[in-house]
Structure 1
Amino acid sequence: MSITLMTDKYELTMIQAALEHGTAHRTSVFEVFTRRLPSWRRYGVVAGTGRFLEHLDTFRFTSADIDFLHKDGALRDTTLDYFKEYQFTGNISGYAEGEVYFPHSPVLTVEGTFAECVLLETLLLSILNHDSAVASGASRMTSAAHGRPCLEMGSRRAHEDAAVAAARAAIVAGFTGTSNLEAGRKYGIPTIGTSAHAFTLLHDTEEEAFAAQVKSLGTGTTLLVDTYDVTQGVETAIKVAGTSLGAVRLDSGDLGLQAEAVREQLDSLGAHNTKIIVTSDLDEYAIASLASAPVDGYGVGTKLVTGSGAPTSSMVYKLVAREDGNGTMQSVAKASTSKSSVGGRKTGARLVLDETAREEIVLVADSTTADAWLASRPEYRRLEERFVTGGTIDTRWTGKDGLARAAARHSASRAELSPHAGRLQSGELAMDTTVITLENTTTSN
């Protein structure tokens, strides 16, 4: 299926006007960033870069797309001829997927002609805004879990395509499995799932249902024990599966109190190695509240796939530099009071001392000048990676390997943050960001 028309019409009409005016092929630099984070988040997580690159690889106008645009009537034939030949030939760089970010971090930089860059706005933002929102919430959840596994179970609470994307974003932020089979097939994510309450209700007795499941899936399965009475359910589970039962799942009630009682009951029955998995509208706050409970894993659904209170990352895509009529690059910026931006190409870096990130800086300079500045300051970790060069995609950032790379990057990036970054209550960002224009003008955000 072509995704090229899953975009905003104004991108195409801008290109038509620019083509006719002779400015469409001016070299331009666009930047993805956010002006703010939700008050309760101390950092964001970049996610979706790999998915964007996979779509960019096939981002072409089909004959059916061109036919629709012709019938729509807003574009002239000369403009449609441009779209028939469209292919991105520029450069894309930015923060590695999985990296943490802050307001005004230059998350992604797109360089090329105005026409080829502006056409990517909706594709880029729709992916990064969704995936980064899910990953940012997921990171708080895995942080609150303190090493206990978190499992993604939100497919039934999202659009079918968004469910796959959300599962991938959750893995970036430290989740270890998903219930979504397509996410498992496409990205190699371990898949999980056994049975729902409907399976127990189907059978004449709970014991009959458990016996059928164990016969089919083995004693290592997870039995859902709260369809009727939890205490009786646990007793029946061990009666059927024996003390080698893999796990029991709790999906309702006071999960903390129930987990305490179930752990005691399992141990009294000799099932010391049977784990307790909890589900039921969990979020980072619920997970944190269960820190002292004998819980072995968390299944998270609705709150995860909807960004846990922030379903978008509020990222924007702005032109920050462009070629003038004489062929000279000029910084440009929107000057609106509440939606201002900083012009010029930017490079992000992070001051790391004693393995702890102390400050993020954003250098406003061309690549050569930024490279020279960072080369003399080894205490700063450069955040910018190159994803596309001359239209050629670096496939290390895509597919299953790209997802594994992103998850590893997030683990390392979060480990650099100070301990207060994991606090769930509203407060200051995990670190300050300073914008440095290398003509000796410095402002703090």
Structure 2
Amino acid sequence: MSDLAITALLIGSLFLILASGVWIGLTLSGVAWIGMQLFSSRPAGDAMAVTIWGSSSSWTLTALPLFIWMGEILFRTRLSQDMFRGLAPWVQSLPGRLLHTNVVGCAIFAAVSGSSAATCATIGKMTLPELTRRGYPDHMVVGTLAGASTLGLLIPPSIIMIVYGVTAEVSISQLFIAGVLPGVLLAALFSGYIMLWALRHPDQVPKSDTRMSLAQKLSESRALIPVVLLIAAVLGSIYTGLATATEAAAVGVVGSLVLSAVQGSLSWTSFREALMGATRLYCMIALILAGAAFLTLAMGYIGLPRHLAEWIASLGLSRAQLIVALAIFYIVLGCFLDGISMVVLTMGVIMPTVQAAGIDTLWFGVFVVLVVEMAQITPPVGFNLFVLQGMTGRHLPWIAKVTLPMFGLMCAAVALIYLVPGIVTWLPQQMTVR
């Protein structure tokens, strides 16, 4: 049977099982089992047991449930209200005024969350009613929130970076460091777009209702101190080499519990809800990772990754053409799968090709996160769009339409990190030198 026929059979099986409503993790394991039974001499049951146990018992993966738990705890605090009060005085003088709270608020919360959906929901609770009440246009409020909330995937600690680091065997700490400057770049592009829009449509930007002295602004900014301290504790421990990503995640959980207790939002009910929410989300991710690990092993035995790499090499694509092809591939795939599934499903096949092309796996990790961010705001499976639909009651096509400018800015960010790879690699190199 030819490689093309085997690939078509496995892809057909994948979509057929997914269409029947089976969970993604079980679907991946099922497709892997079919491939090994039909096209490999190794017993599929033995390979499944060994691979799933090995992927589930990874020490590096321990950081994932801890960061998820930290985000769940903070989701139930008054953090979003405090952030708005602390940020609003500083953005009043910028073109676009309080629309910038979407971008800056998402960037700050992303540094303690790691989840795009959690960032969207938390900051949305703060900005959607407040900005709507003050008369800001709905399309700008929703569009900028949808785009800026994807920073939850890029600005560390990032759940998707942990998943990529585990599947591609790349240092998670290095990935976290590499994501800082691209995250700042993307946030700057979003804010720049808001400024340009405000300068072109000054009549649609509500006037500032209050003027504050510097002392008053500083007084209001006290509300930001707890979250800044938590960010410093989590990321500072990683960047200074005092803690691994897993140890820093534990620091984050303890810090978020303390912050929640100080704010008076920590109760037995909120603690249990946060723990159960994190458990459910991690179990879903762990099942997907286990299934993907088994599928990767099966693909290795069948030889598809090697043949695909050889086929792509035979096309004679330049590095730029390969990056463009992969970007289009991930954007299209993101129309049907969530980000974590995209990463774990493709790494086993894509990584040999990437390495053969001489692409830095650390740089490629940030590239993948950026294109997965795009998938968060592309229908029909755009999780940020679903979150905003539930919060605003708007139709999905309208939300997707007002988010298009943010999608274009993400494409520009991908082009910039390709043209200037130092945006990704410079900071990790400086940390390594130290």
Structure-2-length-normalised TM-score: 0.28
Structure with higher RCO (Cα < 8 A, 6+ apart): 2
Bigger Rg, which one: 1
Structure-1-length-normalised TM-score: 0.27
Name whichever structure is richer in strand by fraction.
1
